[in-house]
Structure 1
Amino acid sequence: MIRILKYSLAVFTFLSATSLFAQKKWTLEECINQALQNNIQIKRSIYTSEIAKSDYIKSYADVTPAINAYGGHGISKGLSYNYYQSTYEDKKVESGSFGITSELDLFQGFTKISSISGNRYGYLASKSDVEKLKNDLVLNVVANYLQVLYASEMLELANEQLTVADLKLNKTKSQFELGQITEGGFLEIKSQYHLEKKNLTVANNNLVMSRLTLAQFLELDSTNNFQIDLKKDLIITSPPIPDCNEIFGIASVSLPEIKSSEYRLLQSKKGLNMARALRSPRIYMSFDYNSRYSQSAIDPFSASLRPYPDYSYSNQISDNTFTSIRLNIQIPIFNKYSTQNQISRAKINVLDRKEALNETKKQVLKNIQQAFADALAAKDTYDQSNESVNALQQVFEFSSQKFDLGMINAVDYWIAKSNLVRANADLINAKYSYLLKLKILDFYRGIPITL
């Protein structure tokens, strides 16, 4: 009995979770967050940024001294010269040595400082690249989210038109059976009904495909039962559209693609400083500590010149200790024009980065100008579509009354209805097109995108 209760509880929990998932309706904010957290391209870009961060941290470590230890133990056999006793001997000898070396740069034309600054700008540029990808993804999600809303309204319109066509077909059938209209008029209305059924199928397929596209942007494991929060009360306002130059002024200091180009220009200038520093002398300190031991060694400090093993390894290591501290200078004189070539390449890179920055700014300005023009055109189209629907609605109502009274034939009625359906479809398209253009302008102005 207890096992049955546990099994029933597990099934109930699973079905409840499934039902909750099926009932979940994604808002625009949830879709954006889901896409940002799971997009593979953004994840890879973040990893690239982390590599740049690692290079930046490493440049600080380059300022510290390099310290290395070495050591070795070997066995030699055969005729060899024993420099301890100044004789040749043929025997097996074991020997070894070890030590510690270190170098510390004191001056090298401020190369290390330029490297730190350059890697910092490279890291900041890579972070801006990540933000650029995120912005592009957000715009894609918003556009596809609005596409789903558009497809949903088109499906709703198709359902309404099919309902109207069904009512008209039933009424026309009764009129035909009573001999009030001709068979041709009845067949015309019947063909219109089947056309509306086809339009409903097309609208439903478009909605399915738009949902699938949006779900793929969200990187969902399953697209089954994927639904979004339909904005039934979505109202389009017509705020004053700012001037292009005003929008560009905001975008030029906030868009990550411009920041990335600026950082890479600064990084290239630091690279030029590093190339010029190759002409500078290098001043550095070096330190060396080492010792050695050998079976051929003799004690130079004893009167009897005691050999190994009386002269033990520990005594040899203590006696043979050597320490050296040096101040060195390395002056470049001629290196096959390598330094001059690096300076020339660095100068060209700076010029290229300047042009890249100008190109980025011009492209952003073009995008803003295009979005500005699109928004104005979309607003006019939306306003005209509203007026067209209002006018054609009156025409259709008048034509419907005349058709019921037998004053016009089915063809004239069909034309009036088709014009109204087309106008409603154009209005829905104009509404979401205008809304998308407004959201793009909001994006360039740094305003969060919401519905």
Structure 2
Amino acid sequence: MKKIAIPFFFLILSISLSAQTKKWTLQECVNHALENNISVKQSELDYETAELAKKDAFGNFLPTLNGSASNSWNTGLTQNVTTGVLQSQTTRNSSYNITAGINIFNGLRNIRTSQRAEISRLAAQYNLDKMKDDISLFVANAYLQILLNKANLSVAKSQNLVTLEQLQRTNDLVDAGVLPRGDLLEIKATDASEKQKISVAENTVEISLINLAQLLLIKDYKNFDIIDEGYEIIQDDIAEKPVQEIIEAARENRSELKIAEENVELAKKDLQLARSEYYPSLSGFINYNTRESDAARILQGGIDPNQPSQPIGIVEATGDVVVAPNYALISTAALPYTEQLYLNDGISYGVQLNVPIFNGLSVRNNVKRSKINLKRTEFQLEQAKLDLESNVYQAYVDANGALKAFEAATVALESQELAYQYAKDRYDVGLTNAFDFSQSKLRFDNAKIEENRTKFEYIFKLKVLELYFGVPAGELKF
């Protein structure tokens, strides 16, 4: 049993460790967000609702078919449904009918409704696409923020290692009487400050990881981590294209402009639907019905022997009484159920024309509201075009500005690295004090952090520009 249990234990342990050490790539994060994000799921539900509305619109062209059945008991003076005679009795009556109807003409409302449903479906699809683009950008931004924070943490730790080496060397030189104790205290102060920065940087990394995990709906914050290697600037010719070319591509590809265009089309269909209320409507129907009862039948029997005749009138000219045979009425059992249904059935059919004459100005007012809404959506479309052009210009300027900032930060880092190395060499031979060396090292650290910041900012700005150019969010390269 032990031989079986031990390998099983290590198997479970290895699975657990592999799950804990999994690191997410950016593409995995984006795909996971698109599959699980609540906002994306809500947009998908909106699209499914639009699909159902399209099916509803198709159903308006189909005829209707409805059936009904009833069964009731009556006690007291009631009419026999089969004979029409009022009787004091307890009876059970049932009736059945089925009706089919078809819309022949209703001011083209069915056609307009079908067209509107298709436009609404397209708008829902564009809304879903836009939501996916937005979520992809949110995830990319959060991911790049983690990369930046990790890079800054790495800088802080590597520089503190240098400080610890200098601390040991300075301590030896102070003990030998080569350097004053003040230099040792300065290095110790620098070490304490750097350890504080490392602690802050570690907290920043952890918080940014939690933020991304929450965006991905991942609850295991403790074991969540990302791959922080291989994310360098990928040169793309999109940033070198004329801004007007990017704007034209955005007009063809961006969902927000398509949404505004579809909203205008929806408003036009709503106006057509409102105007259709001015037209008459024509519909046809056919109905089949039947009924049965368990009430006794009242039938005509033979001549009543007690009163064989009965007066039915008087001849006005002679005054003679007119008599007729007096037949006795007899009660007999109800006919069989199926026979009653056959004998009592009937069919009715016809057409119905409704002509709107006066309805309190409601149709006219609805038409005016639809015209106002159409104007509003047209203004919104124009605003969406202006906003898109402005956003593309802003993204273009931001991307180029971020590139220049990164290039400047790279040059500054190179200069600060040389200055730091020069100060280190001078400090090693005792030509400068610990304070000046610490200040040079601080400037070098800040230059490295700034270079990291501008690098990841440029990567993000470039991806925004690529999205405007029409690159799908799932195909962005990092």
Report TM bin, short chain: over 0.9
Q: 1:115 to 1:236 in 2, by over 3 A?
A: closer
- Residue equivalent to 1:230: 228
The code of the aligned residue for 1:378 comes to A
Does the CA-based 8 Å contact 2:249-2:468 persist in structure 1? yes
The code of the aligned residue for 2:59 comes to A
- Decide which of 370, 375, 378 is 1:351's aligned counterpart: 375
Q: Using structure 1 for the length normalisation, give the TM-score.
A: 0.93
Q: 1:405 to 1:327 in 2, by over 3 A?
A: same
Instruction: Output the CA distance in 2 between the equivalents of 1:68 and 1:79.
Output: 32
Instruction: Output the CA distance in 2 between the equivalents of 1:250 and 1:434.
Output: 21
- Residue equivalent to 2:476: 449
2:250 matches 1:251: yes
Q: Which moved more, 1:289-298 or 1:413-422?
A: 289-298
Displacement of 1:329: 1.6
Does the CA-based 8 Å contact 2:82-2:293 persist in structure 1? no
Q: 1:191 to 1:394 in 2, by over 3 A?
A: same
Q: Which moved more, 1:383-392 or 1:85-94?
A: 85-94
- Residue equivalent to 1:278: 277
Q: Using structure 2 for the length normalisation, give the TM-score.
A: 0.88
- Decide which of 181, 185, 204 is 2:183's aligned counterpart: 185
The answer for unaligned runs of 5 or more in structure 1 is: none
The alignment yields a C-alpha RMSD, in angstroms, of 2.4
- Residue equivalent to 2:352: 328
Q: 1:407 to 1:84 in 2, by over 3 A?
A: closer
Instruction: Output the CA distance in 1 between the equivalents of 2:442 and 2:283.
Output: 87
2:411 matches 1:387: yes
Does the CA-based 8 Å contact 1:289-1:321 persist in structure 2? yes
The code of the aligned residue for 2:245 comes to E
Does the CA-based 8 Å contact 1:63-1:105 persist in structure 2? yes
- Residue equivalent to 1:378: 402
2:333 matches 1:309: yes
Instruction: Output the CA distance in 2 between the equivalents of 1:307 and 1:440.
Output: 92
Instruction: Output the CA distance in 1 between the equivalents of 2:55 and 2:263.
Output: 18
Instruction: Output the CA distance in 2 between the equivalents of 1:398 and 1:343.
Output: 80
Larger radius of gyration between Structure 1 and Structure 2: 2
Which whole-Å deviations, capped at 9, do the CAs of 1:318-363 have from their partners, x for residues lacking one?
2222112212221111111121122122222222222222233333
Does the CA-based 8 Å contact 2:73-2:92 persist in structure 1? yes
2:476 matches 1:423: no
- Decide which of 131, 136, 141 is 2:139's aligned counterpart: 141
Pairs aligned (count): 449
Does the CA-based 8 Å contact 2:81-2:293 persist in structure 1? no
Equivalent position SS for 1:227:
coil
Instruction: Output the CA distance in 2 between the equivalents of 1:434 and 1:86.
Output: 92
The code of the aligned residue for 2:211 comes to T
- Residue equivalent to 2:105: 107
Displacement of 1:140: 0.8
Which whole-Å deviations, capped at 9, do the CAs of 1:148-202 have from their partners, x for residues lacking one?
1111211111111101101111111111111112121221112112112112222
Q: 1:303 to 1:261 in 2, by over 3 A?
A: farther
Instruction: Output the CA distance in 1 between the equivalents of 2:152 and 2:336.
Output: 97
Does the CA-based 8 Å contact 2:163-2:191 persist in structure 1? yes
Does the CA-based 8 Å contact 1:299-1:311 persist in structure 2? no
Instruction: Output the CA distance in 1 between the equivalents of 2:300 and 2:114.
Output: 52
Instruction: Output the CA distance in 2 between the equivalents of 1:161 and 1:111.
Output: 74
Equivalent position SS for 1:228:
coil
- Residue equivalent to 1:242: 241
Q: Which moved more, 1:429-438 or 1:201-210?
A: 201-210
Does the CA-based 8 Å contact 2:43-2:127 persist in structure 1? yes
The code of the aligned residue for 2:290 comes to S
Which whole-Å deviations, capped at 9, do the CAs of 1:29-78 have from their partners, x for residues lacking one?
11111111111221122122212211111111111111111121222222
Which whole-Å deviations, capped at 9, do the CAs of 1:224-259 have from their partners, x for residues lacking one?
332222225724537443333322211222122222
Does the CA-based 8 Å contact 2:186-2:434 persist in structure 1? yes
Q: Which moved more, 1:92-101 or 1:129-138?
A: 92-101
Instruction: Output the CA distance in 1 between the equivalents of 2:9 and 2:298.
Output: 88
Instruction: Output the CA distance in 2 between the equivalents of 1:6 and 1:116.
Output: 66
2:101 matches 1:77: no
- Residue equivalent to 2:158: 160
Aligned residues: percent identity?
28
Q: 1:245 to 1:141 in 2, by over 3 A?
A: same
